[in-house]
Structure 1
Amino acid sequence: MYQSFYLPTKIISGWGSLQELPGEALKWGGRALVVTDPGIRSAGLLEKVEAVLAAGGVACTVYADVQANPTIQNAEDAAKLARESGAQLLIAVGGGSSIDTAKSAAVLLNNGGSLADYVGFDRFANQPAPVIAIPTTAGTGSEVTLVAVMADPASHRKFTVGSTRMMPKVALLDAELTMGLPAMVTAYTGMDALTHAIESYTSITTQPLTDAVNLSTITSIFEHLPTAALRGDNKQAREAMLYSSCMASMTCNSTFLGLVHAIASPVCAVCGAAHGMACAVLLPAVMDYNLPVAQKKYAKIALAIGAADRSESERDQAEKAIGAVRRLSEEIGIPRRLGQIGVKEEQLDQIAGAAWNYPQALSNCRRAAKADVEALLRAIL
């Protein structure tokens, strides 16, 4: 079985690196559609991006209606506005919701039709319009991934549109843009990044290159997330989390994810919880479920983060890794139970049935039947 690692996205990082945006945008054209959400506008970040673009000679139109769980309609509305304004590229500013919407709209701009026509991988013919991604949260890492996760409110389901051709041309990591992020958003987006790293590290398609990146990322998140969440004005912690988020998602393109993400998608679809929050609540429980087959990897995590020492048994080390994840969640204020984020008992059968069929479940290190998923959900309801 062969392995591959592919990253066509140019990554620009550093404090104040937003100033590089006009030069990168002009490589793809002088007119852009900025895709963002109401929170970015109200926080003043959109105005800052617009000013940098104007100073650099890039004209832009703004689509600022992206929802927390972005929908087919968000992508189609953004594509329509891009077409009407003559945009030659899309600039996503925000979290994964804005970036995924921009990636989806870029597909529609050059291929037409409805986003529902392209569910799955490589379902479109034409190269999408170029996308520059500027993350303002340290969590999803969508700025370097080959997928967009979108919602269909009519069916209460999330779905994936994916292709290496959808990967942004540029990821611009300026931690200054994350400084105003609220503590709880910092907490659950950071736990999303940790979930990416742990699920990628234990995936059935893991490889030595991704193992090295993921173990380093996990260590960095344990070191810096509490500070970023609880003392949000700490520049070092903010930068470290933004890099960690990007690194974790770089590996997911090659390894895919696991059961946390398979369950989180239907959880968000049925109760409207934020993706990162759902992942954060689910992660310790899924780690418990995966322990019989992931013991060796979990033990390595425990040693890397200093939660265990080499004199202990591998099983004890692995259990301490799971305990460390639980303590980290508690320290930064993550709820422990699904009921606290809006999940109801009558929804568990629907969630379990959907999760079992999500593609992320196929790369989980331990196979899970629908009954396994439902039992896991009930244990943390």
Structure 2
Amino acid sequence: MYNQDTFLDAATVESVVAQTVDELTPRNVFHFNSPRQAVVGEGSILTIGKLLRQQRVKHVFAVVDKTVHELGLLSSTLRCLKRANIDCTVFSGVEREPTTEVVEQALAMLTRCDADFVLGFGGGSAMDAAKAVAVMKSCNCSVDELTDPGFEGRRSLGLGAVPTTAGTGSEVTDISVILHIDERRKFVAKLPDLMPDLAIIDPGLMLGLPPLITAATGIDALTHAIESYVSASANPLTRALATSAITGIHNELPTAVGSGGCMPARLGMAVAAYKAGLAFCNAGLGLVHAIAHQVGAQYGIPHGVANGILLPYVMEFNALVCRSQFAAIAQAMGVARESMNEREQCDASIAAVRQLLRDIGLPESLSDYGARLDDFSELANEALQDICVESNPRNVTKADVMQLLERATS
């Protein structure tokens, strides 16, 4: 005899069926996230006091690159904050890429001053550190917890970012990369609340940037644009932003490197880097970054330089499944010709990237930084665990990564 409790009533069945249909119905849906407010243009940093006063900010905790602070680039910001009666505590201990130790030092200072707004000011390192400490202070968590893929903490402090380079895109992303020195590994935290509420992009802050740093950060932005364009998670909006960024970087980067005081070139690069940041934040990256995170930590290679060395080789690898996308990139870079077929346009895009790297004087081999064959097996293992590999358009094996490392070292 059947127990009536084992049978679902009609209303429950109808609800289950409706839920199943609702979950299966949406098609081609994509999400797009961006900072709540962005202010772009020469002198835009001078609006920071007014902007933060409107948000009722009382105390800013500024996380600044050491070199940026020594050069006095923060002075106008401090002046505007003082005029708006906003207190400011400065942490200037960020050098190169943010380490767990530096992040913990910044967190301790933030806890003591009890600021209500965290501002990352400088390159990607300062902004990544600022984003991390803002969430860690809000959630009372550690770096290990923050970088755990299952972390779901929410930020309660305000967060802003002011880039002094045109490249990392950290001012518009929900990502923070932290270096664990003891393990020689980079950990990537991705969380909606790592995205700043406010981004101020002032090309005037970039005028004194040395040529090599301009080149390296610019290639970082180009890598963001190219990888997001071909990403397995790309959508029409991210592709449009990536395409525009590729054109802008190809046109403006040589001038920005060779004539650093050219404001139109600096502005063009700043806007292009912003577009590339929005693109990859929403579409993801790929194998270039997955490998670059590992070799950068292992050999102390600046992130943009590592990306530049690896980019042409990974493009060749991905071309098997991305020929049409790379052909479109050739068109965006202005190197496609009507006489070319799709494959020739694809090859032209890779050749154009290599030529740009040579023109701006970036290294072309990992061997320049002491890369060793004996390290490649472990580096490949780590690259395959990197979050960026998930959106690479072509499936990747350990053997593939090791072969790419060997080619980039020869």
TM-score, length-normalised on structure 2? 0.90
Q: Which residue matches 2:129? A: 101
- Residue 43 of structure 2 corresponds to which residue in structure 1? 16
Measure, in 2, the Cα distance between the counterparts of 1:50 and 1:349.
48
Distance across 1 between alignment mates of 2:272 and 2:127: 17
Q: In structure 1, which of residues 248, 270, 284 is the aligned counterpart of residue 312 of structure 2?
A: 284
- What is the CA–CA distance in structure 2 between the aligned matches of 1:245 and 1:51, rounded to whole Å? 27
Equivalent in the alignment of 1:374: 402
Unaligned runs of 5+ residues in structure 1 are none
Q: CA deviation at 1:156?
A: 1.2
What CA distance in whole angstroms lies between the structure 2 residues aligned with 1:208 and 1:184?
A: 33
Any conservation in 2 of the 1:273–1:342 contact (CA below 8 Å)?
no
Q: Deviations for 1:46-89, whole angstroms, at most 9, x for unmatched residues?
A: 23322222223221111001131211222221121111112111
Distance 1:17 1:8 in 2: 16
**In the comparison of the two structures, how many residue pairs are matched?**
381
Range that drifts further, 156-165 or 327-336: 156-165
Partner of 1:211: 239
Q: Which residue pairs with 1:197 in the alignment?
A: 225
Greater C-alpha Rg: 2
Residue aligned with 2:74, SS? helix
Question: What is the letter of the counterpart of residue 322 of structure 1?
Answer: I
Shift of 1:128: 4.1
CA distance in structure 2 between the aligned counterparts of 1:167 and 1:62, rounded to whole angstroms? 21
Structure-2 separation of matches of 1:49 and 1:345: 47
Query: Of the candidates 302, 319, 323, which is equivalent to residue 295 of structure 1?
Result: 323
Change (3 A) 1:276 1:128: farther
CA distance in 2, matches of 1:176, 1:39: 16
Quick one: which amino acid aligns to residue 161 of structure 1? A
Q: Does the CA contact (< 8 Å) of 1:121 and 1:161 recur in 2?
A: yes
1:241 — aligned with what?
A: 269
1:28 is displaced (CA, Å) by 4.6
* Structure 2 residue matching 1:65: 3-state secondary structure: strand
Give the match for residue 53 of structure 1: 81
CA distance in 2, matches of 1:341, 1:179: 28
Give, in angstroms, the shift of residue 270 of structure 1.
0.7
Q: 1:232 is matched with which residue?
A: 260
CA contact (8 A) 1:267 1:273 kept: yes
Counterparts of 2:399 and 2:308, CA distance in 1? 22
- The 8 Å contact of residues 121 and 163 in structure 1, kept in 2 or not, is answered as no
How far the C-alpha of 1:13 sits from its partner, in A, is: 0.6
AA at the equivalent of 2:373: E
Q: Is the 8 A contact 1:262 1:359 kept in 2?
A: yes
**Amino acid across the alignment from 1:245:** A
> Relative to 1, partners in 2 of residues 1:226 and 1:69: Cα closer, same or farther, differing over 3 Å?
same
2:3 maps to none
Correspondence 1:341 to 2:381: no
**Alpha carbons of structure 1 residues 28 and 81: separation in structure 2 relative to 1, 3 Å:** farther
Query: CA separation in 2, counterparts of 1:260 and 1:9?
Result: 29
Map of 1:174 onto structure 2: 202
Residues 296-326 of structure 1, C-alpha deviation per residue, up to 9 Å, x if partnerless?
0111111222212122110001000000000
How much is the aligned-residue C-alpha RMSD, in angstroms?
A: 1.3
5+ residue gaps, structure 2, are 1-27
Q: Give 1:165's aligned residue.
A: 193
Deviations 1:14-44 (A, max 9, x none): 1001111112223152111110121101211
